[in-house]
């Protein structure tokens, strides 16, 4: 690996020669050297020291081995905010911004929002940051995930109540105007689990180890007991699950059941309203 990153190379040369795509080259250079994007430009002729070359080379090798770049640098932007991430939580993805947008549109003034299976806190923190009037609660069963989510709420000055909970167990008889969730929805044995970044992410946050719908069924079944009249349930799901999720929502008595498409045109979020 040291042959790929040699001392004495300029930062400009490295941006062109590192064996990753240009964006990842830039991200790893900035992270390894503690530089901003602007500093990387203004110091383009700076030469790499031996120590810096070794450190950068190690990061590049990790990426070539398939480790997600978000885990390497420990951060990913979501909804315009920086989120700390690590192997204990899923990496927030642009697709999930759709459920945040839908939640913000439907949450009434001073409304109560529940985020189930919060992971890094992406949905809860983004909503709480955008709606200072809202009361936001986030649940997760993983202590590691909750620690990361709390740190993200603090660093983004977002007021969120975090609870360790096996789905609805910790909220008792509380009610909310909106419940949102991005639960595990990949079916056991799906080939995607052994590809790309998913190989490094926590399997329990990706798959229900069943047909991909078991967590969605639990949430849909329990949501009416925790929704205020007229409250919304919004669920992110797999690219081929929209029809099945809509059927589950309709069978549970939800009205205004529909699905919304992400930027790729895929039905990514489905939801309904409690009559």
130/13 Cα distance (integer angstroms): 41
Predicted local confidence at residue 201, as pLDDT: 86
The neighbouring-strand residues paired with 181 are 116, 235
Asked if 121 contacts 148 with a C-beta cutoff of 8 angstroms, the reply is: yes
Convert the pLDDT of each residue in 188-219 to its tens digit: 888 888 788 888 888 888 887 788 899 999 99
Mean pLDDT of 119-142: 98
Label residue 1 by pLDDT band (50, 70, 90): very low
Give CA separation, 271 vs 72, 131, 165, 217, 253, in Å. 35, 21, 22, 13, 12
Convert the pLDDT of each residue in 85-116 to its tens digit: 999 999 999 999 999 999 999 999 999 999 99
Asked if 179 contacts 224 with a C-beta cutoff of 8 angstroms, the reply is: no
9 three-state secondary structure: coil
Label residue 3 by pLDDT band (50, 70, 90): low
Single pTM value for the model:
0.90
Residue 2 reports pLDDT greater than 70: no
């Amino acid at each position: 690996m040291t042959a790929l990153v040699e001392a004495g190379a300029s930062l400009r040369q490295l941006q062109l020669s590192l064996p990753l795509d240009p964006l990842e080259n830039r991200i790893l250079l900035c992270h390894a050297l503690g530089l901003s994007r602007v500093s990387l430009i203004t110091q383009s002729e700076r030469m790499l020291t031996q120590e810096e070359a070794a450190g950068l080379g190690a990061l590049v090798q990790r990426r070539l081995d398939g480790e997600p770049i978000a885990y390497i640098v420990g951060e990913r932007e979501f909804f315009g905010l920086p989120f700390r991430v690590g192997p204990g939580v899923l990496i927030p993805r642009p697709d999930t911004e759709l459920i945040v947008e839908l939640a913000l549109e439907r949450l009434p003034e001073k409304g109560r929002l529940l985020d189930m299976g919060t992971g890094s806190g992406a949905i809860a923190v983004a909503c709480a940051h955008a709606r200072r009037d809202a009361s936001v609660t986030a649940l997760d069963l993983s202590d590691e995930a909750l620690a990361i989510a709390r740190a993200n709420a603090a660093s983004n000055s977002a007021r969120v109540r975090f609870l360790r909970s096996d789905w609805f167990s910790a909220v008792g008889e509380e009610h909310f105007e909106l419940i949102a969730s991005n639960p595990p929805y990949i079916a056991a044995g799906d080939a995607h689990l052994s590809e790309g970044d998913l190989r490094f992410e926590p399997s329990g946050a990706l798959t229900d180890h069943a047909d991909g719908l078991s967590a969605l069924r639990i949430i849909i079944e329990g949501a009416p007991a925790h929704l205020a009249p007229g409250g919304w349930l919004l669920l992110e799901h797999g690219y081929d699950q929209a029809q099945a999720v809509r059927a589950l929502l309709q069978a549970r008595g939800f009205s205004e059941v529909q699905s919304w498409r992400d930027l790729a045109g895929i039905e990514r979020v489905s939801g309904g309203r409690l009559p």
